[in-house]
Amino acid sequence: MRIAGGTAPSTTAERLSVVVLVSAFASLSLLLPVATSRRSQLDALVAARVIPDVIDAFSPAAEVSARYGRRDVVDGCDIKPSESASRPAVWIRGRGCSGDNLYTLIMTDPDAPSPSNPSEREWLHWIVVDIPGECNAAKGKELVPYMGPEPPIGIHRYVFVVFKQNKTLGEVRPPLGRGHFKTRGFAAQNGLGLPVAALYFNATKEPAIRIY
């Protein structure tokens, strides 16, 4: 297709191709905010090394949002352990986020016990499976109960990873412990493939409250 050069399209076919191209650009610009937010979602995960420390690069096909009380989780934000002691509200929105689709949510800490020596990577905080089409994690089945962040040393990353299931996982046996968990291994064992969305925040140990 000849578009460069700036000469006015002469034949009907050329005029038609310009129209098609312009409308393609128009619809592209409508899609752009979504594409950009998905791209920046990946960039933030790469910058913080969530990719590759926890998951491989993936193509975002959903959005996950999490909220502790009134605090929305944003990539890289700092949330106090005392604010995140109870399970957050989590929503998964995405293409096909309706009907019979089921999703798995995993929350994990790759920095245990300390970011400079993560010998227990990953520490498992939460698994919810069979989150149904309306995509509210509260409607899923809690396979591993929620445990809030308790970072002993350093800044820890807490990562929410969402997978789309291709079968129900309600009968899957939960991992035996929380330490040395591997998100990739769990995904491989359960046929989850690559993630469809991910989000992370940071938390640091709070100074002990002194009582005088």
Binding site for ligand NAG (CB under 6 A): 47-48, 76, 78, 155, 157, 166-167, 191, 193, 202
Cis peptide leading into residue 113 (ω within 30°): yes
Least distance in angstroms from the C-beta of 38 to ligand NAG: 20
Query: Nearest residue to ligand NAG, using CB?
Result: 191
Give the residue with the Cβ less far from ligand NAG, 33 or 99: 99
Give the residue with the Cβ less far from ligand NAG, 54 or 92: 54
Extract the tokens encoding 189.
Answer: 């064992």
52: left (phi over 0), alpha (psi -120 to 50) or beta: alpha
CA angle 183, 186, 191 (to 5 degrees): 120
Give the residue with the Cβ less far from ligand NAG, 17 or 204: 204
Give the residue with the Cβ less far from ligand NAG, 35 or 47: 47
Positive or negative: CA dihedral 148, 52, 31, 33: positive
What is the pairing mode between strands 77-78 and 197-203?
parallel
Least distance in angstroms from the C-beta of 177 to ligand NAG: 25
| CB-based burial label for 119 (10 Å; 0-12, 13-18, 19+) | exposed
Least distance in angstroms from the C-beta of 59 to ligand NAG: 14
Least distance in angstroms from the C-beta of 167 to ligand NAG: 5
